[in-house]
Structure 1
Amino acid sequence: FPIVNANLYIRPTETNLFKPYHILEIEGIRILFIGIITEEVIAVSKSEPLIGSFICIEDAAREIEYICNSYKDIDIDLTVLLTHIGYEQDLKLAKLLPKEIGVDLIIGGHSHTILEQPAEVNDILIAQVGAGSEQIGRFDLLINMDTNSVHEYSWQTVPINDQHCPRDPVMDELLGGYQAEIDGKYNTVICRLPRKLEHDRRFRETELGNLFADILHYQLGVDIVMLASGSIRKKSLPRLVTRSVLMEIYPYVESMISFSVSGLMLRDMLSHLMQTLYHEGGREFYQWNKDLRVEVLADGEIGSIEMQGEPLDPKAQYRVALQEYHYGIIDENFGLTHDDLADNGRVRVVSTSSQDNIIEYMKTQKIPYSPCDGRITLHTPLEDR
């Protein structure tokens, strides 16, 4: 199946970066697939001079309408949107689409929402099945070929386990030939922890978030490390840490970018982040090292901020490090532009792989105890989304 995306294009020629749609015919049923990608990925494309994008959901809806109208001469029986914009944005998108264009399904992602039954908005069925490959969703559809619409459907989430997905002995034998080599490289023990560390919720301080942020702070030599909570992909780190376990939990081999901000700019960054999270449905939360302690009041306003036990000095300069992807979208999450940062001091790459930094530290250093120590105090808890 090809990559399909309708909201990224090449600026000089105004042609799509990827194929915007794909028509598949199965046993006489023509299915139109259209792809829409997450706004965070689109935001990164802003720094690419050759890549343009339809940023807002309204523009995406107009592009979908354009594609559907362009194929009115083809007898499309089922129209499916493949999105990665989050469940709430899927609901908004469905409301914007005219019924006449004939969109039937939205199969979404990004927010990791699990639905017992699909939502239905504007006669469009909307479904998600959580995160990763723990389960898949299954639609059984009865299509009305006269109206080109879904007449009846059933939906279920199917766990990926031996009961529902029996093992294939031919594939097991093929993969077994590579297993010893893989085990030798990736199942080497990096370290042993005093106990399992948790990261069971993304939108609060966690033990594992504290550990990784403290490690990167030590390794990079900056004042503050802000580590995206969503980049930690599992809910816990076991006591026995192997390379493969660590790479599953933190799979991102990406650079760390450092820049300078004043204490006042840092307060404004945190204020923008929390206002986005509390009032605008923001999806990015960050873990940071123990030198920075922040109080977030009930309405998302920033209360007290301390650096190394002292009140934040609004005139002092601090070096902050972010993952490269999150530096790319710093205006979205923290309200600062790249020009703002360049004007305030040098912007530089301090590591080409944050994963390497974490692995090296855990191999060579005594692992610090990193409990939830109140470095991020939320008077009103944030719900996962």
Structure 2
Amino acid sequence: MRRYTLSLALVITLLSPLPAETLALGIMHTNDHHGHLMPFRHDGEDGWGGVARRRVAIQRNRADTSYQWLLLDAGDVFQGTPISNLLTGFLDLECMNQMGYDAMALGNHEFDFGYDVLRSRFADVNFRLLCANVIDRERGTSVAQPFAVIRRGAYRIGVIGLTTETLAGETHPKVKESIVAYPAPVVAGLANYLRGTGCDIVIVLSHQGYGRDLALAAAVPELDVIVGGHTHTQLDEPTRVGDVLVTQTNGWGRYLGVLRMIFERDDETQRFRLVAHQNEYQPMSPDLPEDEGLLAFIADYDRRLQEEMGRVVATALRDFSVEEVRLRENELANLVADAMRTQTEADIVLMNGGNFRAPLAAGPVTAGDLYAVLPFDNFMVKVNLTGAKIRECLEYSTNQYGDGGFLQVSGLRLHYRDGVLVSALVGSDPATAVPLDDAATYSVVMTDFLAIGGDGFPLAEDPYGPGFTGLEQRATFSTWASAQRDLNSALDGRVLVEWIDMADPGLAD
């Protein structure tokens, strides 16, 4: 009889469990780029950001071949600088092509130039534009591909795009032609579908804001990662909700998010589980070199725009800030609102604080400066509203204190105390202003964005009906400013905000 013996080492090997299958996945991510192709000033220092600097950082991270890499963006690539706006996002997307992005969620500002312009941009990209929860009403289909399955080696990674559910109130008026679905059920269904079709990892590219991303992570545990945007939230570390990581950078390309993760496959469920992660928000600071090829590519377009953007329109006699334009009366908003009232001969002008996006420095004011201050291509609408409807809008403005819907005005004098409208007078001169008459009718000028109920305002005017003026807000202000030559404004008490028995919520941390 033959005897067979096994070495102790072989016995231990046979009895030991096999090592778990691991997946090393790296995600580089951005959000809320807002047209910042070129370096800009940040925290008092010039030379931050810019896509040429970002490309160098991306290439350095990709050199770490121990990870499978994805490059993702969570939306709002469009809108924010003259070069981006004048080319309606084309140059931003082309730079993303050259950086090698894999996918991008549509943000609300991707719709700012109109749905037709956005659809025309789909042909310009080599990566996936994703949006699962906005439906084209006319066609009955999603406005973009809802999800993509990206292969990395032997692994399948599902990426879902999600846009803010308040889209219709935050962008181009004609976007109301689209239907926005509540996101959580949409995402849950797609996540289960992707798992069922063999995806190893499921990621959401979300442009709905940090708070909603946390709620989504809790509601849909089938997810692995949520890469967010919209609220420009700068985190110290990704937030973990159960097994879901939620991350976001603060926008403009100031930082490149870099998330390295190790997943192990669970023998029982066969699902990969996160076992370790390392995170960086890499600063795109001036000491990081720029990619010369991409810099030259952008500079060629930039040179073509400089002549028009450098055209001097007027002279600012003082610095104008937008720092508290969403909290109280603001000199720059006064200047613009008064100009609109003069140009349209209206009784009253209402403008949302979120309309004003950049300060204006003392000295020559160029066309490029006006693009930065008023980047949105909105038209002015002149409608007749009752005093009661105007009062309703003014009272709603208190709910928007600290947010983009806080109203700046011309032709009114308002007094708010502890978040309540105490008085509303019609007129600019406090000596002759009279109480707002609920039964009277007034001519009111506002942007088409506000007229359709943007920022949730209780309005539903037809922006292209009888009240359409054909006056684009930036061009209208430019015409007025050119005639004035010297620009000056001061606080005159037209919007008095007091917090007496309550703490000022605008001062909260």
Q: Which category describes the TM-score, using the shorter chain as reference length?
A: 0.7 to 0.9
1:20-47 deviations in whole A, cap 9, x for unaligned?
A: 1112223444322212212332347997
Q: How does 1:144-293 map to 2 (within 5 A)?
A: 144-146=264-266, 147-164=271-288, 166-204=289-327, 205-274=329-398, 276-277=399-400, 283-289=404-410, 291-293=411-413
Q: CA deviation at 1:138?
A: 2.3
- Number of residues of Structure 1 aligned to a counterpart in Structure 2: 367
Larger radius of gyration: 2
Give the Cα–Cα distance (whole angstroms) in 2 for the partners of residues 186 and 45 of structure 1. 24
Contact 2:354 2:403 in 1 (8 A): no
Give the Cα–Cα distance (whole angstroms) in 1 for the partners of residues 369 and 330 of structure 2. 18
Give the Cα–Cα distance (whole angstroms) in 2 for the partners of residues 49 and 307 of structure 1. 32
Give the Cα–Cα distance (whole angstroms) in 2 for the partners of residues 123 and 284 of structure 1. 36
Q: CA deviation at 1:236?
A: 4.6
- Does 2:417 correspond to 1:297? yes
CA separation of 1:29/1:250 partners in 2, compared to 1, >3 Å: closer, same or farther?
farther
Q: Which residue of 2 aligns with 1:67?
A: 190
Give the Cα–Cα distance (whole angstroms) in 1 for the partners of residues 309 and 403 of structure 2. 35
- Does 2:230 correspond to 1:107? no
Give the Cα–Cα distance (whole angstroms) in 2 for the partners of residues 92 and 231 of structure 1. 29
- Does 2:204 correspond to 1:81? yes
Give the letter for the 1:215 counterpart: A
Q: Which residue of 2 aligns with 1:312?
A: 436
5+ residue gaps, structure 1, are none
CA separation of 1:48/1:167 partners in 2, compared to 1, >3 Å: closer, same or farther?
closer
Q: Which residue of 1 aligns with 2:59?
A: none
The correspondence for 2:446, drawn from 315, 322, 328, is: 322
Contact 1:45 1:52 in 2 (8 A): no
- Does 2:252 correspond to 1:132? yes
Secondary structure of the structure 2 residue equivalent to 1:3: strand
CA separation of 1:116/1:350 partners in 2, compared to 1, >3 Å: closer, same or farther?
same
Give the Cα–Cα distance (whole angstroms) in 1 for the partners of residues 173 and 296 of structure 2. 46
1:37-71 deviations in whole A, cap 9, x for unaligned?
A: 123323479976863221xxxx3100101111112
Give the letter for the 1:171 counterpart: L
- Does 2:143 correspond to 1:17? yes
Give the Cα–Cα distance (whole angstroms) in 2 for the partners of residues 235 and 151 of structure 1. 46
Q: CA deviation at 1:86?
A: 2.2
CA separation of 1:269/1:49 partners in 2, compared to 1, >3 Å: closer, same or farther?
closer
Q: Which residue of 1 aligns with 2:14?
A: none
Q: CA deviation at 1:334?
A: 2.4
Contact 2:165 2:183 in 1 (8 A): no
CA separation of 1:122/1:368 partners in 2, compared to 1, >3 Å: closer, same or farther?
same
Give the Cα–Cα distance (whole angstroms) in 1 for the partners of residues 380 and 144 of structure 2. 28
Give the Cα–Cα distance (whole angstroms) in 1 for the partners of residues 129 and 340 of structure 2. 35
Misfit runs of 4+, over 6 Å: 44-49
- Does 2:236 correspond to 1:116? yes
- Does 2:180 correspond to 1:53? yes
1:198-245 deviations in whole A, cap 9, x for unaligned?
A: 001342232222222222222222122222222222245453322122
Give the Cα–Cα distance (whole angstroms) in 2 for the partners of residues 379 and 262 of structure 1. 26
CA separation of 1:125/1:365 partners in 2, compared to 1, >3 Å: closer, same or farther?
same
Q: Which residue of 1 aligns with 2:489?
A: 370
Contact 1:197 1:208 in 2 (8 A): yes
CA separation of 1:61/1:176 partners in 2, compared to 1, >3 Å: closer, same or farther?
closer
The two structures, once aligned, show a CA RMSD in angstroms of: 2.9
Contact 2:353 2:406 in 1 (8 A): yes
The correspondence for 1:349, drawn from 458, 463, 468, is: 468
1:244-277 deviations in whole A, cap 9, x for unaligned?
A: 2221232122211221111122111211232x33
Secondary structure of the structure 2 residue equivalent to 1:288: strand
Secondary structure of the structure 2 residue equivalent to 1:91: helix
Give the Cα–Cα distance (whole angstroms) in 1 for the partners of residues 146 and 166 of structure 2. 19
Secondary structure of the structure 1 residue equivalent to 2:197: coil
Contact 2:353 2:404 in 1 (8 A): no
Q: CA deviation at 1:14?
A: 3.7
Contact 2:168 2:176 in 1 (8 A): no
Contact 1:40 1:329 in 2 (8 A): no
Q: CA deviation at 1:282?
A: 6.2
Q: CA deviation at 1:354?
A: 0.8
5+ residue gaps, structure 2, are 1-126, 428-432
Give the letter for the 2:216 counterpart: L
Q: Which residue of 1 aligns with 2:157?
A: 31
Structure 1 window deviating more from structure 2 (303-312 vs 85-94): it is 85-94
Secondary structure of the structure 2 residue equivalent to 1:197: coil
Give the letter for the 2:341 counterpart: H
% identical equivalent positions? 24
Give the letter for the 1:217 counterpart: R
Contact 2:416 2:498 in 1 (8 A): yes
TM-score by length of 1: 0.84
Contact 1:201 1:235 in 2 (8 A): no
Secondary structure of the structure 2 residue equivalent to 1:383: helix
Give the Cα–Cα distance (whole angstroms) in 1 for the partners of residues 175 and 369 of structure 2. 34
